[in-house]
Structures are given as C-alpha cells and as structure tokens.
Amino acid sequence: MKNTEIIMIPVKDQQKAKEFYIQLGFELIMEAPNAHGQMWIQLGLPGGGTTISLASFHGIIFETDDIEKEAGDLKAKGIDVGKIDDTPWGKFAWLKDLDGNGLCLHQK
C-alpha cells in the first residue's frame, strides 16, 4: 500500500452531507451512480491527496500498484482478503480489521 486514497464516511443523506462538506471548503471530484444503486460522491480539499466519499457504509481505500501481489502478501500473513473485483474504475479487494472496519485495496 502506498497511500490512503479515500476515506468512506457513512451518511444518512448524501446531498445534505455533500452541501455540508462543500461549505467546509471541500470540492466535488465526482458524483455518479455506483453499482450499489446509490450515488458515488467523492470530495477533496484543494491541493489535497486523500479524498472522502459520502456512502452508506464506512471504509478506507488504500492505493496500491500491484493488487495481486499485495493481496497475496496479506493472505500469506493470515489476513483474509476478498476476491479482486475488476471494474471500470480499477481493481478492488476488500478486507476487514479485527473490529470489522472495512479496508480496501485499489489499483488504478
């Protein structure tokens, strides 16, 4: 993993949350339908690297250059990594920490 790419924040109302974060100084990076029947709303601070996504569940997405190697290395350490999903936005593989928090590997 090379950096924290996106922090997914659970919200009740995506549009109201989007307005709030824009008032805080965030800029809209992307707003588009996602595979779960909701909108993918991603915002970031000007000049910042890590972004946030307003979602129905929590998660932290880490960028990696080689998701197959990264997932294999984690599995070798005894960490349960889900299957790698190949999407138009890149490859994703989900896992959970000891407290059930969602973590995700992402290769662009």
Question: pTM above 0.75?
Answer: yes
Domain containing 25: what range?
Answer: 3-107
The Cα 62–Cα 8 span in angstroms is 11
pLDDT for the residue 88? 87
Read off the CATH number of the domain in which 33 is found: 3.10.180.10
Which range, of 29-38, 47-56, 91-100, averages the lowest pLDDT? Answer: 29-38
92 Cβ neighbours under 8 A, 6+ residues apart:
61, 67, 84, 85, 104, 105, 106
CA pair distance 18, 7, nearest whole angstrom: 14
* Total structural domains within the chain: 1
